[in-house]
């Protein structure tokens, strides 16, 4: 008999939902602070085509930094190995929006998942696409099987209004000749990619190619097998900011979080998981999301970095 994923998700959802809520919903982007902290959903898409879910898996939420995973993939497709001239692949050990390390390291961002690296990646997309925002929306729509995806204008405006720190990072990259485009244009695109709402089910579906050696279930190649391995490696070492060591200790899966409270985690060869619970721990990662993934990983006997 095959593994009973549905009862696993149900069990994990019930166990985690019964615990008191820890953490705090992100409020540095005011539009995100309005989200109800009790929302909680889980979805698992398998490489054999089956999809399982529990809780509010069909409720859209702000993908925030999970967008950085998909813009990284787009940039890998466009630039190949040259991308790594623009951004590194070392964990940062600093907060997602920190400027400290950039000063010491000549404006070379440690990895594509901290804000500095994600801005460098979006800058790279702006250099190649006439309509970068359209390209990002179309890419995501094709991966999650939707005709069209929209931006939450409220969240986008809120990010733009409170985005001085991200603009400061972008100007810093520019001062180091690592940013060939207009800061306002790139930060606008970046704020808007973060302000896309998607559901757990859609996000699990969108990331499924990473569990499937770089191809979608329809057989379309998104990344080469080597690029897929590289993306998973960056997720494993950098996907949860300065909380990544603890996350790998507890969960052990390549993952990417966002301050909207979502986390995508990949089970290579098996499937793709997405959890959503808005209250964040001190490092900006979903507290319940990590609890849920820890229980799932324990049940599946995940060996960190191997599965
Ligand atoms: N839009 C957020 C920012 O740049 C994304 C951060 C995150 O999700 O970690 O501040």
Q: What is the pLDDT of residues 57-106, one digit of tens each?
A: 999 999 999 999 999 999 999 999 999 999 999 998 888 888 888 888 89
Residues 73 and 33 occupy one common structural domain: no
Residues 236 and 144 occupy one common structural domain: no
Distance 131 CA to ligand 1 centre (A): 22
pLDDT band at 307 (very low <50, low <70, confident <90, very high): low
Distance 299 CA to ligand 1 centre (A): 31
What integer pLDDT is reported at residue 304 of this predicted model? 80
Q: Which of 67, 87, 241, 257 is catalytic?
A: 241
Q: Which of 138, 162, 194 is the last residue of a domain?
A: 194
Mutate to test the pocket of ligand 1, among 113, 166, 188, 259 (most ligand atoms within 8 A of CB): 259
CA dist., res. 221 & res. 214, Å (int): 6
Residues 95 and 50 occupy one common structural domain: no
Q: Which of 155, 173, 194 is the last residue of a domain?
A: 194
Q: Look at the chain and report how many structural domains it folds into.
A: 2
Question: 284 near 24, Cβ under 8 Å?
Answer: no
CA dist., res. 208 & res. 216, Å (int): 7
Residue 213 or residue 3, greater confidence? 213
Is 241 an annotated catalytic residue?
Answer: yes
In sign, the C-alpha dihedral spanning 35, 45, 191, 238 is: positive
Q: Which of 194, 216, 246 is the last residue of a domain?
A: 194
Look at residue 307 and tell me if it is in a domain. Answer: no
Mean pLDDT of the chain: 95
CATH code: domain of residue 113: 3.40.710.10
Q: Which of 25, 35, 62, 65 is catalytic?
A: 65
Is 259 an annotated catalytic residue?
Answer: yes
Task: Give me the domain span that covers residue 29.
Answer: 5-64+196-300
Q: Which of 68, 98, 126, 155 is catalytic?
A: 68
What integer pLDDT is reported at residue 14 of this predicted model? 98
Residues 24 and 107 occupy one common structural domain: no
Q: N- to C-terminal Cα distance for the chain?
A: 21
Question: 273 near 264, Cβ under 8 Å?
Answer: yes
Residues 237 and 177 occupy one common structural domain: no
């Amino acid at each position: 008999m095959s593994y009973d994923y549905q009862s696993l998700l149900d069990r994990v959802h019930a166990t985690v939902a019964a615990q008191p809520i820890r953490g705090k919903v992100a409020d540095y982007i005011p539009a995100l602070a309005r989200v109800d902290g009790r929302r909680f959903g889980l979805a698992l898409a398998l490489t054999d085509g089956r999809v399982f879910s529990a809780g509010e898996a069909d409720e859209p939420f702000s993908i925030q930094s999970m967008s950085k995973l998909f813009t990284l993939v787009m940039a890998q497709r466009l630039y190949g190995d040259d991308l790594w001239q623009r951004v590194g692949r070392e964990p940062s050990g600093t907060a997602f929006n920190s400027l400290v390390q950039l000063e010491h390291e000549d404006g070379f961002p440690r990895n594509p998942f901290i804000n500095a690296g994600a801005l460098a990646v979006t800058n790279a997309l702006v250099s190649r696409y006439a309509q970068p925002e359209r390209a990002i929306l179309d890419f995501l729509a094709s991966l999650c099987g939707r005709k069209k995806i929209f931006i939450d204008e409220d969240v986008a405006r809120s990010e733009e209004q409170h985005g001085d720190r991200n603009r400061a990072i972008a100007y810093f990259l520019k001062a180091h000749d690592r940013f060939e485009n207009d800061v306002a244009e790139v930060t606008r695109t970046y704020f808007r990619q973060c302000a896309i709402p998607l559901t757990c089910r859609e996000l699990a579906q969108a990331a499924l190619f990473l569990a499937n050696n770089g191809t979608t279930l329809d057989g379309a190649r998104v990344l080469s097998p080597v690029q897929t391995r590289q993306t998973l490696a960056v997720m494993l070492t950098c996907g949860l900011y300065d909380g990544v060591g603890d996350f790998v200790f507890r969960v052990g899966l390549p993952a990417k979080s966002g301050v909207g409270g979502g986390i995508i985690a990949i089970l290579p060869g098996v499937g793709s998981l997405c959890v959503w619970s808005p209250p964040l721990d001190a490092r900006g990662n979903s507290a319940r999301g990590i609890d849920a993934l820890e229980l799932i990983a324990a049940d599946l006997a995940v060996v960190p970095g191997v599965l």
